[in-house]
Amino acid sequence: MRMKLRLVGLALVCSGVVGVAQIPAAPRSDDPKPQADATLVQMQEAESALEQQDYKTAEAKLKALVAARPENATNGRIQYDLGFAEERNGEEAEAAKAYAASVAALPGFAEPQVALGLMDARAGKTETAHAELLAAAKIETAAPELRARALRALARMDEDAQPVAAQEELLLALKLTPETPDDVLLGAELAERSDDPADAEAAYKRVLATIPGDVNAVAGLAHVLQQQDKFAEADAVLTPVLKEHPDDPRLVAQAASLYAAEGKAKDAIPLLEALRAKDAAVAADAKVTRTLASLYAVVGDDAAALKLDLALLAASPEDATLLDDASVEQVRLMQYAEAEANAVKAVALRSGFASQKEWALAESHLAFAASKNHDPQTTLAALKARGTVLPDSASSLFLEATALDSLKQRKEAIVAYKAFLAAAAGKFPDEEFEARHRLIALEAVR
């Protein structure tokens, strides 16, 4: 909150006078007090306007005050009040200058430091805002509430990229001021980001005990319950609130994810389609679009899934998992050359996969796409790469056998076909039929 101007302190800064007497009716021409008294009157008027939330009047009076005397332009408290008024008048660039001038004039004055940090955070100047808020939080003479506000803002800034640092900042804030429901919610979100779903679940339930139906807490709780495979409980938490807030993007996205996990992708698709149709911002959200694409793929609408994935790839052409998803969809649509091209790009971006297993599965997808595209060399290379992470499977052995067969490597193909038949054990009748007939043909050659 804005600190109330201390009139006596300001009078000292402006005039060097310890006591402020009533303004004399007829000062002498050589009396040094008239100018100081006029400044004090302007300050009183500006403060009165701020207290009445008349920020336009306050700004005008404070600007006049700054222009009246050079000393006022470097007065940290006057500049802070000017920034405060300008910010509330929507003049953020001017407010930032005033706050910066206040910080320069009074380095230990936390109010403008916090205000500037919050303003820069809103403007997306994350690095600058972080430094400003951290500096404010370290001012030990500042009010605990103000330092705690800076720490909470830091925690919010760090929650995605540095959840551990954010947890530490939140704990420091709680040492300065009592816990609030927002703190509990942030703590739950941080536990979730730190892969601690059990702690996150307990914290989200604490929020809902205090604020029943809180949308963010409901969405978060449903998510961590889903992470723990508590699908029925997640559904019971989420569905009633979703009925009350059918247009809330986070609830809809969470419901879509949950329904898909429950095998109800067909129920999830209409929710996302309706929300995207209503809200342009949601329609442009990559995460929502990606979720919808995956749901289309689950229900077998690969054309719809591919259309969305290709649109996402236009904006993020180096996204390994998007390339892999598009490749799989293109194989199903018999676009084999395009599928192989995207799969080659995907596996080259090995660090873009969440795990080595996911990368190896993408190599499997490449092997299949290359096989369909009559490229046995690439098929074998992809299977070899896959084999560095995953053991052979019936599918990989069949692809290997047919690739070796295509390259007329007869002896190697025979070994691979036999290995496939042993692994298949009747689970792949069509491929097993083909393998037996190819073995007859290959073994007949001398």
Q: pLDDT, tens digit, for every residue of 85-120? A: 999 999 999 999 999 999 999 888 999 999 999 999
Whether the CB-CB separation of 143 and 113 falls below 8 Å is answered with: no
Per-residue pLDDT averaged across 270-295, rounded? 90
pLDDT at site 208? 92
pLDDT at site 95? 92
3 lies in a domain?
no
Provide the domain count of the chain. 2
The per-residue pLDDT for range 306-352, each reduced to its tens digit, is 999 999 999 999 999 999 999 999 999 999 999 999 999 999 999 99
Final residue in a domain of this structure, among 344, 367, 391: 391
Collect contacts of 301-305 with beta carbons under 8 A, ≥24 apart.
302/329, 302/332, 302/333, 303/333, 305/329
The CATH number assigned to the domain holding 329 equals 1.25.40.10
Place of tokens 């403007």: 123
222 lies in a domain?
no
Whether the predicted pLDDT of 441 surpasses 90: yes
DSSP secondary structure code for residue 5 in this structure: P
Do 416 and 430 sit in the same domain of this protein? Answer: yes
Q: What percent of the chain has pLDDT over 70?
A: 91
pLDDT at site 446? 64
pLDDT at site 164? 87
pLDDT at site 235? 92
pLDDT at site 35? 56
Do 307 and 383 sit in the same domain of this protein? Answer: yes
Structural domain span for residue 430:
393-446
317 lies in a domain?
yes
pLDDT at site 34? 52
- Beta-strand ranges (E) seen in 135-291 are none
The sign of the CA dihedral 122, 125, 131, 132 is negative
Would you state the structure tokens that stand for residue 372, as one six-digit string? 């369909």
Whether the predicted pLDDT of 30 surpasses 80: no
> What is the chain's length?
446
Per-residue pLDDT averaged across 128-142, rounded? 92
Do 377 and 403 sit in the same domain of this protein? Answer: no
Candidate ranges 130-139, 140-149, 368-377; pick with highest mean pLDDT: 368-377
**Chain centroid, CA 87 distance in Å:** 27
pLDDT at site 41? 82
The per-residue pLDDT for range 49-96, each reduced to its tens digit, is 999 999 999 999 999 999 988 888 898 989 999 999 999 999 999 999
The per-residue pLDDT for range 216-272, each reduced to its tens digit, is 999 999 999 999 999 999 999 999 999 999 888 889 888 988 988 888 889 889 989
167 lies in a domain?
no
Place of tokens 């660090």: 351
Do 357 and 397 sit in the same domain of this protein? Answer: no
412 lies in a domain?
yes
216 lies in a domain?
no
Whether the predicted pLDDT of 44 surpasses 60: yes
Higher pLDDT, 347 or 4: 347
The sign of the CA dihedral 68, 69, 70, 72 is negative
> What is the residue-averaged pLDDT of the chain?
88
Do 304 and 387 sit in the same domain of this protein? Answer: yes
Do 338 and 326 sit in the same domain of this protein? Answer: yes
Compute the distance between CA of residue 353 and CA of residue 351 in angstroms, rounded to an integer. 5
pTM of the model: 0.63
Confidence of residue 28 (pLDDT cuts 50, 70, 90): very low
Per-residue pLDDT averaged across 366-391, rounded? 98
Compute the distance between CA of residue 382 and CA of residue 400 in angstroms, rounded to an integer. 10
